[in-house]
Structure 1
Amino acid sequence: MERHYAAARRRPAREYQRITALTVAAQGREQAHQGHVEQACATWGRALDYLDGVRSARAIEAVAGMRNTLRPLLRRGARTAAELDERAREWEATHA
């Protein structure tokens, strides 16, 4: 699955910004489910970069899913997760 996400990221981001962002967000979700939390947070950070200026229901769902996945990590005090959650919260505030 990682290979498919990597191939999708090779698309020119500007032309396919929304789909690239959603693909990268899905990759982060898979990484988190595999237990690769630091890698997932970095990947989700890139997804938020791509989502800058994107307005779509799927983007809102992706960010909400990201934040839901981060909740257990936040309870454990994971700094990287807290920083990412703050970025995602700010994105939601401006895009919802």
Structure 2
Amino acid sequence: MGNHRAAAEQYEHAAASRPAPTYARIVALDLVASAEMQLKTGGIEQACATWHRAIDHMTGVESVRTRKAVTRLRRDLVSFRERGVRSAAELDKRAADFLSSGP
């Protein structure tokens, strides 16, 4: 419906409502979706913080969907990195490290 802010809040709520150790992949993907919505509202700093949280939950998870999400986030960050947004550059480095460490 185009209400990205409300969607981000709902994804955050969904992530918080699951026991993280049991549902690490699902929590991570909920946080990725929240970050994507935050980015659509122009909240790059908030989106980067949420993506960092998502990657925290991905540690030890082997999932094609999480790897695709991290690849997509790197693509989404290109214009911000090119403009010198530090949080985007730091997140991109972490995402690249994450992708290089997996299968």
Smaller-chain TM-score bracket: over 0.9
The one-letter amino acid of 1:76's match is R
Equivalent runs, 1:14-93 vs 2, <5 Å: 14-93=21-100
Alignment match of 1:7 (pick from 13, 29, 34): 13
Q: Which runs of 4+ in 1 moved over 6 A?
A: none
What is the CA–CA distance in structure 2 between the aligned matches of 1:29 and 1:55, rounded to whole Å?
Answer: 21
What is the CA–CA distance in structure 2 between the aligned matches of 1:36 and 1:6, rounded to whole Å?
Answer: 15
The one-letter amino acid of 2:8's match is E
Q: Identity across aligned pairs (percent)?
A: 43
What is the CA–CA distance in structure 1 between the aligned matches of 2:74 and 2:84, rounded to whole Å?
Answer: 14
Which runs of 5 or more structure 1 residues have no equivalent in the other structure?
none
What TM-score does the superposition give when structure 2 sets the normalisation length? 0.89
Question: How many angstroms does 1:56 deviate by?
Answer: 0.8
What TM-score does the superposition give when structure 1 sets the normalisation length? 0.95
What is the CA–CA distance in structure 2 between the aligned matches of 1:76 and 1:68, rounded to whole Å?
Answer: 14
RMSD: 1.0
Aligned residues: 96
The residue aligned with 2:3 is none
